[in-house]
Structure 1
Amino acid sequence: MKKLFFVFFLALLHLVTFAQSIVLDKEKLLEYYQTQRYADAAQYLKSIYPTDTKDVKALSQMAYCNMMAGKLPEAEKSYLSINEIQPNTLPVLFNLANINTRRGNDTKAKAYLESIVKIDTINFNAFKQLAGLIKDSLQLKIAYLKKANSLNSADADVATDLAQGYRDLQQWALGYQVLKVAIAADTSNLFLLQAQLPFANELKKYKEVIYVGEKLLKDGTDANVVKNVGKAYYFLKNYQKCINLYEMLEKMAMQNEMTLYLMTLSYRELKNLDMAMVYAKKTIEEGVSANTATYYGLLAGLQESNGNLTTSVSSYKRGLTFSENSNIYYRLGLLYDLKLKQQKSALTYYNLYLKSKPDVNSEKEQIEYVKTRVSDLKVTTK
C-alpha cells in the first residue's frame, strides 16, 4: 500500500513539475500579435506546449494563430481537439465551419453550421452562412435567408440575397417588401435603393423608380440604374428621356437587347421612323449570339447524321441567316454533292466556301478538296 502511494505521489509530482516548467512569455506573444506575425506566434506556442496537450486555452491560442497565418490544416487540428474536449462549443463550431469554407469543403462547413442551428435555433450568423453555401437548391437557400431575415430584417446582405431569390421566382412583391424594410433601417444605403428599382418597375411603381433612380444617378452613372430609370420613363410615355438615358449606355457600350428595343419603340412613338428602323436592326443584332450560326451548324450536322437530309439543309441555311460561316458552306457543299446529288447547288456552296476565306493552315486539306471538286463539277454541270 505504501509503495502504491509512493508511485502516485511521484506521478503527481511529475505533473506539477511539468506544469511549472511551462512559462509563457506573454510580452513576446503580445509582440507577435501586435506585429501580426501569427505564424511566429503559432510556432512559439507549439514550442512551449506538448503536441498532445489538452489545455483548451493553449489549443485555442494555437488554433487562432494558425488560422490568422493561413495555416488552416493546423488550425483545424487544434479546433477539433477542443471540440473533443468541450463538444459543441459555438465559437469552435463557427471556426471549423469557416476553415472548411475557406478550404472549399462546403459539405463539412454546412454540417458544422447545421450543428449550430440545432443548438441555437435563433443564431442569425449561422443561418446567413448556411444560405451562402447553398448552390443547388433555390428553395432551401430562400428558406435559410427567410429565417435569417426574420432574425435581422435590417441586414442589407441578407435582404439583398433574399430579394434576388424572390426575383428568380418572379415574386416581385415579396422581394420589394423585404428591401423596403431594410431600406427603412438604412435610408442612405445606395446598394439597397438600387436593388429595389427592378422590383418597383415590375410592380409599375414608375414614379418611385424615377425619383429614387435620379437621386442615385447624381452620385454617379450606373448602368443598371440607367436601365431601370429609362424603362420607367418609357412606361410613363416620356420617350425622349428614355432615349437620352439609353444613349448614355450606348456611349459606354453597355446597351442590351431590352434597351435597344425600348429605344426603337420610343422613336416609333415620336414618329421618327428612320431612327426607329436603325434601332430595330440594332435590336436584332444584339439579340443574336455570335455563336448562333455555329449552333445551327451543330444541329444540322446531327440531323444529317440521323438521315434527316431535308431538315438538315434547312438548319444549315437558317444558321447562315445569322452570320457567314465557312464551315456551313463546306457542309452544305458536301451534303448537296455527295448525298443529295444536286451538283449545281453543291458548286454554289463550294464557291461560297472558298470566297469566305477559310483559314489556309487549319483547313488546308478541305480547301484543296473543294478546289478539286469545283473543277470537276464545272465540267459535269456544263
Structure 2
Amino acid sequence: MNFPSIRIFSLQVFLLSWVITPPYCEAQLGSWWSLASRTELLGAHSPELLLLSAAPNFCSHLEAGLSKGQERLCTLYQDHMSSIAHGADAGITECQYQFRNRRWNCTGTMDNKTDRIFGPLMKIGSRESAFVSAVLAAGVTHAVSRSCREGELSTCGCSKQPRPKILKEAWHWGGCGDNVQYGYKFAEGFIDVREKEKNYKRNSPEQARAFMNLHNNQAGRRAVYRAAKIACKCHGVSGSCSLKTCWHQLPPFRDIGMKIKSKYDAAAKVQLNRKGRLQAVDAGFVTPTAEDLVYLVDSPDYCLFNRKTGSQGTKDRKCDPLSQGTDGCDIMCCGRGFNTRKEVIRERCECKFQWCCYVACKTCERIAEVHTCK
C-alpha cells in the first residue's frame, strides 16, 4: 500500500516555505490536544464558532497549545479545527479505555493548563507517551477522513481511491467513502509541523525525542490507513444482491485503538545512532518498522503519586483479587495490599414491555464487595 506524502494542496506551499524557527519550550507551547476540551465550542454548527471564526485572531482565541506552524494552519483551515478537536477527543477517550485496567490509566496531575490532560508524562519519552502520540494522530486522521465524507470540509470530499483490482466487474465502485488519503495528509501536516519547525542540535536528546514523536505520529496514521476496508451495499430485485455499490470505509475507532495498543505492548526501545537515525537499543531486536511504536526511556512504575512524572499512583484504585492480569490486586496495588468494603448497587431489573410502547422496570438493590488498593 502506498502511503500519502506530506504535501497537501496549499499545505504543500505552506510547509515548503516555512522558515525554521528557534526551539520552543514545551511549557510555553502547551498541548494542541487540549482542543479536545473545546469540542462543544468547535461543533460544526455551533453559533459560538460562527462568531469566533469571524474574528481575525480566531486561532489565538482557541486557548490551545498550538505551535506557530499549527496556528498558521489553523488560519488556513479554520473549518478543519472542529475535526481536529473531535479527533483529539477520540484519541484521549480511547487511551483511557485501553489503559483503564493498568497502573497508568491515561490521566495526568491536572496541576496547570499545560498538563491538564496527560500531565508531565508527555515530557518523558516512554512507552506511554509513544502510545499517546500514535492514538492522537490516529484520532485526527480518522476524524478528518470522516468529515470529508460527510461534506463538512471545504477542501475535500468523498474518497478518490482507485477501484480495487479484487472487486468483481459487475460491482460498481463509487459510493461515498471515507477520504483516508486526505485525512492522512492533513493530520501529518498539522501534527508533524510542531516537531519540524524546531531546530535542535544534531544527536541531542531533544532531537531524539522529536524523531521519536514523528515516528509514533506516523505509526498512528498508518494504523488508520491500513484499517480502511471495502464496504458494499446490495442492489437488486427482492434483495438478490445481484448488483453492489462499494467504497472504502473506516471501522469504528475502537478497532484502531486496539491495534495501536498491541503496538504499545511490543514497542521497541531506541536511541540515536551516529548517522542521526533511531535504532533499537537491543542488538537482538528486529529493527522497528514505520508501523511500530518506539520509545527512549523506561516507564515509571506509576505505583505512587509523583508530581514530576505525572503519576497519580494506584491508591484507592479498584482491583480484582481473583485476576492475574494488570487489573488484579497483586499487580495494581504494587504489593501494598487492598481494602475491601461492601457497597449497595442499585440497578434496573424485572423489565417488562408495556403495550404500547415502553419498557417498565423496577429498581433492585444488591450488595457487592469492592476492593481498592491501599
TM over 0.5: no
* Richer in strand (by share): 2
Q: TM-score, normalised by structure 1?
A: 0.23
Work out which of the two has the higher radius of gyration on C-alpha atoms and give 1 or 2: 1
* Richer in helix (by share): 1
